[in-house]
Every structure is written in C-alpha cells, then in structure tokens.
Structure 1
Amino acid sequence: IVLDYPRPMLYHIGTRKMDTLEEVDVDIGVPKPRRWEIRSAAECQTLLDSFDGFSEGLVVRDAQYRRQKWKRREYLLMHSARFLVGAETPCYAWVARSSEPGTMDADRLCLNVWLRSESSEFAAYFPEAMRRYGCVRALLEEE
C-alpha cells in the first residue's frame, strides 16, 4: 500500500553504538515516531484497534529492545486486495470493499488468501476464519 503524505518527513527510529550495537536514546534533532506505554498484549491490541484510516500498525519494543510489528487487519486486507490475481493494475473497487473486513464475504476473502498462498499470515490475523478457509481450500484443491 502506498500512502499519500502531505510532505516528505524523516523520522529518527533509533541509534546504536557501532562497537557494541547497543541501542542508545539520543536526540539528533530529528523527530521521533509517536510512542505509547503499553503493558500487555491486550492493551496493544486495543490501541491498534483504535487506529483508523490507512494506518499500518505499530512496532512494539520490549525492555530488551526486541521488536515486533503489529499490523491492522484492515491494512492487511487492503494490502492483499490491492492487485487482482494476474493483473498489472490496482483493483480499487475491491480494495474499497475490503476496507471493512467485517462486511466482506468470507468465501471471497478465503479465495483471495488461497490464490496468493498466504494462509500462514492470514491465520495470524484472522484465526477465527481459518475453519472456513479450510473448507474453501478443500473445495479448491479437490480432484
């Protein structure tokens, strides 16, 4: 997904000591991304669910500086729906319909996942739809 930003910006996402690779918190005069203090996975999910529009998600960092990306479900749907299978141009109508995953037909979503061979990522973000995906996959792969 390519997002339109009103003006180019540079963000300081981190600095490391080159001899140890230890992260250090320094001010280099460049804006840093917004930060939130989150204490649990549930709090993180609540924050993620509060984002709207085309927000991609969060980068979560723990006390040991390990990072993990948490992406919004709507963003993933829009990303996977951006191009029709085999097409060279975006399918904007499909993307628009996909921006509301709760209203999207489950079988169509499962077909899209199967065509792109993305079941593992789909399972991570839509575990409640995996039973239906299994049924759709079985029908498609039946000989």
Structure 2
Amino acid sequence: MTAPYPVHATGVPVLALGETLLVSLQGELHDGMAEQLQQDISHRIADSGANGVIIDISGVEVVDSFLGRILAEIAASASLLAARTVVAGMRPAVAITLVELGLTLPGLTTALDVDRALELLTRRSTPSASDGREKGT
C-alpha cells in the first residue's frame, strides 16, 4: 500500500495532484538533500507519467547558486521526461538575489503561488482553439 504523502530520502514530500507533482520546500536544503530531491523527482515523473512539476519555494529564505543550479537541473530532467516545471512562491528578496548573482533558471517558468502554477500548467496542457495565434506563422 502506498503512503498518501510519499516522503523520500530527502524528507521532502513529493505529492501527486492528478498529473502534476507538487514539492514544497520548507527551510533550507543541504547540498546532498538537494541532489537527492532532484533524483526523487525524476524517478517520480518516470514512475507516474506526470506531465508537470510545481516546486513551491515560498518557505525558502535564501536560494544560493547551488540551489539555483539544482532547480534548473530539475527542470532539464523533467523536460527530458516530457514534464514542465514551474517554481512558485519566490520571495522578492530571493528574486533580487538571483539577479544580483547573475543566475538564470533556464527551463523554469515561475508563478506567484501554487494556485497560479497549477492554472499555468493546466492552461498550457489544454490547447485552446481561440488562442488567436496560428502555428507556423
């Protein structure tokens, strides 16, 4: 029987919300824990067929260059497994720090909160006939 809130070696729960995985970071992650989280998320995508990952960082005070790189690598791994990654809940101080460090987070989309991240993933996975844009033009 599967636990309703699977906790992996990192101690960070990776929850399934339909076809989306939700990871909520609370406090700081040590380097080894961050690397393990990256592996846990990749395995969960592969095992579940999830098409989206939301990483809620609203509980994180500081994102250093290492954690920024891990987030970008999670997005790259997810993309290779056909899933999109959205980082939600970034504090203004964290955004300013990332800019000051010159860090870019390729492959990551950001949202103000988890609700908007879910909306973003849902909207992008459902093609709209009234989009107003034609492909190939």
**Structure 1 length as normaliser, TM-score?**
0.27
- Structure with more strand by fraction: 2
**Structure 2 length as normaliser, TM-score?**
0.28
The higher radius of gyration belongs to 1
Pick 1 or 2: higher relative contact order, CA cutoff 8 A, min separation 6: 2
